[in-house]
């Protein structure tokens, strides 16, 4: 969908405070919108769509305990190299499964 907005303008905003049990997520990110839409359909008591501005942004309200942030440490050069080697080693397996 064309919105007339640049990628820089297509933000994801997450609002919450210590008092409210809900988090508000406003996003243009298609993957996140799809995941939240699916989650809202499965668990309507935990998540719901509260606004769709018809310009590409959707706003969801989700229970605070159901939404999380995952922080990961950066990979060391050694770990990055090992992961690359492992991926190259198993690339043939992936190609075989695609056929």
In a domain, 30, yes or no: yes
pLDDT digits 0-9 by tens, 17-53? 999 999 999 999 999 999 999 999 999 999 999 999 9
Q: Look over the chain and give the mean of its residue pLDDT values, rounded to a whole number.
A: 89
Distances (CA, A) of 65 to 22, 89, 90, 97: 8, 39, 37, 38
Q: Could you give the number of structural domains in the chain?
A: 1
pTM of the model: 0.71
Q: What is the mean pLDDT of residues 65-94?
A: 87
Q: Is residue 71 part of a domain?
A: no
φ, ψ for residue 23, nearest 5 deg? -115, 140
């Amino acid at each position: 969908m064309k919105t007339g907005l640049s990628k820089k303008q297509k933000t994801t905003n997450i609002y919450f405070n210590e008092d409210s049990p809900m988090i508000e997520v406003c996003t243009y990110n298609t993957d996140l919108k799809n995941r939240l839409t699916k989650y809202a359909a499965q668990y309507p008591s935990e998540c719901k769509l509260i606004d769709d501005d018809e310009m590409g942004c959707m706003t969801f309200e989700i229970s605070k305990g159901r939404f999380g942030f995952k922080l990961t440490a950066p990979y060391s050069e050694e770990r990055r190299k090992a992961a690359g080697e492992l991926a190259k080693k198993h690339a043939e397996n992936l190609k075989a499964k695609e056929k």
